[in-house]
């Protein structure tokens, strides 16, 4: 059900190589099969990767919302001064222990679960998980029933109630569909990092967010996770989120 692709990079490389061989030259100047001009395609995403985040609430500050601003700018979502229904892909949550007075602040977005309940309940298959663990909404097939919004324990998804204009080319948005954090999949596919992580380091200068491949033991995030004790939100639900928090 996870839609894991068997099309691994090595097999892909082999097929690409075979494609190159298809244009065999029989004699000088005579080509057996003409090779179509190359469109440099990347992908597909494979289960070799498992993208995730590590968020250090100790470095996060209640007064800072650079990650939210960056997400809004990158993906082109904005509010209409209706907090009950406005889209919210990422939000800052402030926590306080009333007995000790200790306060935390942390960003909460789609947790990109390994066992996403939003995918389980979707009646059309629009809510889906990519092979590399990124949970997305296929808005082409989303009928706007909002069952996934009810199923998500993190309130990570939003419904688009208003007509949309000025969408970013990489992020089509439309009235009547559900949307949520895509982990900036358009950047990841080009080898980049999510906009919120970039803003936390570069604009806010806090470095409270770290992005990387949880499956790669040599990645910075995997090394950090092996050293620190981290929490996954509502770990008791067994959803195995890809977002880890430290200091909760």
Q: Which is nearer to other proteins, 51 or 154 (CB)?
A: 51
Q: Which is nearer to other proteins, 28 or 42 (CB)?
A: 42
Least distance (Å) between residue 234 CB and other proteins? 27
Q: For residue 37, count CB atoms less than 10 angstroms from its CB and return exposed for 0-12, middle for 13-18, buried for 19 or more.
A: exposed
Least distance (Å) between residue 199 CB and other proteins? 23
Q: Cα separation of 144 and 199, whole Å?
A: 31
> Which structure tokens are listed for 199?
């803003």
192 binds other proteins (CB under 8 A): no
Piece of the chain touching other proteins by CB under 8 A; list 60-68, 173-181, 193-201, 234-242:
173-181
Q: Cα separation of 93 and 239, whole Å?
A: 20
Closest CA to 111 of 94, 91, 125: 91
Can you tell me which of 48, 96, 168, 228 binds other proteins, judged by CB under 8 A? 168
> Which structure tokens are listed for 248?
């909760």
Closest CA to 187 of 55, 58, 42, 48: 42
Q: Which is nearer to other proteins, 34 or 165 (CB)?
A: 165
Q: Which is nearer to other proteins, 6 or 81 (CB)?
A: 6
Contacts of 9 (CB under 8 A, 6+ apart): 46, 48
**Residue 158 CB coordination number (10 Å):** 19
Contacts of 77 (CB under 8 A, 6+ apart): 71, 87, 89, 158, 173, 179
Would you put residue 16 in left (φ > 0), alpha (ψ -120 to 50) or beta?
A: alpha
Binding-site size for other proteins (CB under 8 A) equals: 32
Closest CA to 176 of 135, 150, 140: 140
How many residues are given for the chain? 248
161 binds other proteins (CB under 8 A): no
135 binds other proteins (CB under 8 A): no
19 binds other proteins (CB under 8 A): no
191 binds other proteins (CB under 8 A): no
175 binds other proteins (CB under 8 A): yes
174 binds other proteins (CB under 8 A): yes
Q: Which is nearer to other proteins, 104 or 139 (CB)?
A: 139
Least distance (Å) between residue 190 CB and other proteins? 8
Binding mask 43-82 for other proteins (x = CB under 8 A): xxx-------------------------------------
Footprint on this chain of other proteins (rule: CB under 8 A): 3, 5, 7, 39-45, 128, 130-132, 136, 138-140, 164-169, 172-175, 177, 185, 189-190
């Amino acid at each position: 059900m996870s839609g894991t692709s068997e099309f691994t990079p090595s097999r892909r490389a082999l097929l690409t190589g075979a494609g190159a061989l298809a244009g065999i030259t029989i004699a000088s100047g005579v080509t057996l099969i003409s090779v179509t001009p190359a469109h440099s395609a990347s992908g597909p995403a494979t289960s070799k990767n498992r993208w995730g985040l590590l968020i250090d609430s100790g470095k996060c500050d209640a007064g800072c919302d650079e990650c939210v601003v960056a997400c809004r700018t990158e993906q082109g979502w904005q509010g209409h001064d209706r907090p009950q229904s406005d889209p919210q892909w990422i939000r800052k949550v402030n926590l306080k222990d009333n007995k000790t007075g200790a306060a935390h602040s942390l960003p909460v977005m789609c947790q990109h679960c390994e066992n996403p309940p939003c995918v389980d309940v979707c009646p059309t298959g629009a809510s889906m998980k990519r092979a590399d663990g990124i949970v997305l909404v296929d808005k082409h097939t989303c009928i706007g029933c909002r069952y996934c919004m009810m199923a998500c324990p993190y309130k990570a998804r939003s419904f688009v109630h208003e007509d949309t204009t000025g969408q970013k080319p990489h992020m089509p948005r439309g009235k009547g569909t559900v949307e949520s954090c895509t982990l900036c999949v358009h950047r990841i596919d080009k080898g980049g990092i999510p906009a919120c992580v970039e803003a936390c380091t570069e604009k806010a200068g806090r470095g409270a967010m770290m992005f990387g491949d949880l499956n790669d033991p040599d990645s910075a995030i995997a090394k950090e996770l092996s050293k620190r004790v981290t929490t996954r939100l509502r770990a008791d639900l067994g959803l195995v989120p890809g977002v880890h928090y430290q200091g909760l």
